[in-house]
Copies of this chain bind each other. A is one copy, B any other.
Amino acid sequence: MTRRKKRGLGRGVAIVGGAMSHFGAYPDKTSRDLMTEAYLDALATIDKGMDPADIEAIYVGNFLGELFEGQGHLGHIIADWLGLAPRPATRVEGACASSGLAFREAVLAVASGMYDVVLAGGVERMTNAPLENVHDYLAAAADVPFELHQAALTFPGLYAAMTTAYMAEYGASGEHLMSVAVKNHENGSLNPRAQFNVSLRDIMAQRAAGAEKKGRPVPQWRNEIDFLNDAAANPVVADPLRLFDCSPITDGASCVIVAAEEVAREYTDDVVAVTASAQASAGPFTTWRDGITGIPSARVAGRDAYEMAGVAPEDIDFAEVHDCFTIAEVMAIEDLGFFEPGKGAYASAEGRTARDSDRPINVSGGLKAKGHPVGATGTAQIQEVWNQLRGRAGERQITHKDLRLGLTHNVGGTGGTCAVHVLERI
């Protein structure tokens, strides 16, 4: 007989602090440097302050420290560097979902009754490695014998295959996808810690000024889509994906501090609860039975998260989703039930995911503009939603609607892992 139970936490868990380091190219900063920056900034966000001795355990999301900087066993390194040893410190790895999973372990650890206050963070140092190595390294996130060796695909190639399938099935075009890049750069221009703190219009103006200075013909792009259709400005990476469809290589870290709900008000009166924490896995994409125009682990994690929170997709006020490629954001907003299958690309092009829309997506700039230090992305999403729910997201704060429920969606590999969290202002 198969056992069945409704899932839930033994006690409530809340977020009381969080921050991300500056995301960008900092090849001389080690993981410990980046994490220290995020940690100190996270401590400073705690409204009533926190004695670091209150932190009872640490979870560190990191994908490839062994390859990028020859350093594994990162849990104890971070604990020591932050002055938190001998606290238990655990490194959690789920490729690009590493810190989404680290956050989840922190939530479970508090819910278990073992700890009241836990630090969850993530970090990745990437730009110190030669670019060709980076692509080889990241390939370790795939099912190597099947997706890489047998199917002979690179990572952008895997997402390009999904894009081709999506376009064939739903008639969407590259221009629909470009609208995701335009929006996320627009949002990123309002995020001072984003790697690309600049809109596509600004990038276009910079390029035009650069050409003029060098005495070259000055490009006359009519708008962002015109710019993105320019093969010189936006070359093909893995057809049909082009440069501006891809998230960048980034160094960065992020931290979130969680506490049992029953003690959270010792640290802040502005409490955000973890209403749902769900996670799912999937085999290599050649095994996906419902095709490759959506990610099965994201659908399962989304469904489980809604069930745990007792809400429906339409109840979610805004979300940070895993846009490692523009197609990934389109699939995410469908997999999460915000739009029907095949409608996500059109909805994006119609502005229905813009910052001032009914369902703002990636107001932080997303992985696309904020940057994607793979191990740091999950908790970077969490701290963004936390800030938005508390009305403290600065220039990019969503102000045209009341925010109660925010969602994060963090994917590892091509969907081998997905973590979905629902956060709620209480």
Q: Which residues of A contact B (CB under 8 A)?
A: 1-3, 5, 7-11, 30, 51, 53-54, 57-58, 63-67, 69-77, 79-80, 85-95, 101, 104-105, 107-109, 111-117, 137, 139-145, 263, 266, 277-284, 287, 296-297, 300-301, 412-413, 416-417
Contacts and interface: CB of A to CB of B under 8 A. Distances in A.
A71 B287 contact: no
Contacts of A296: 86
Contacts of A287: 80
A91 B141 CA distance: 12
A72 B86 contact: no
Which interface residue of A63, A281, A283 has the most chain B CB atoms within 10 A? A281
Contact of A73 (B2, B71, B93, B108): B93
Contact of A111 (B95, B114, B266): B114
A94 B90 contact: yes
A141 B65 CA distance: 11
B95 A92 contact: no
A51 to B, nearest CB: 5
B114 A77 contact: no
Secondary structure class of chain A's binding surface, majority of residues: mixed
A281 B87 contact: yes
A3 B66 contact: no
Nearest to A8: B113
A73 B1 contact: no
A12 to B, nearest CB: 11
Given A80-B283, A105-B108, 8 more contacts: A8-B114, A64-B72, A70-B144, A73-B141, A75-B281, A86-B282, A86-B297, A89-B417
Contacts of A7: 114-115
A141 B75 contact: no
Contacts of A93: 72-75, 91-93
A1 B52 CA distance: 10
Contacts of A72: 63-64, 93, 95, 140-141
Contact of A113 (B9, B91, B139): B9
Given A72-B63, A141-B73, A263 B90 contact: no
B5 A281 contact: no
25 contacts: A3-B54, A3-B263, A5-B116, A9-B112, A65-B140, A69-B144, A70-B139, A71-B140, A73-B141, A73-B416, A75-B417, A80-B143, A80-B283, A80-B416, A85-B280, A86-B297, A88-B301, A89-B281, A89-B417, A90-B94, A90-B104, A90-B105, A107-B112, A108-B114, A114-B277
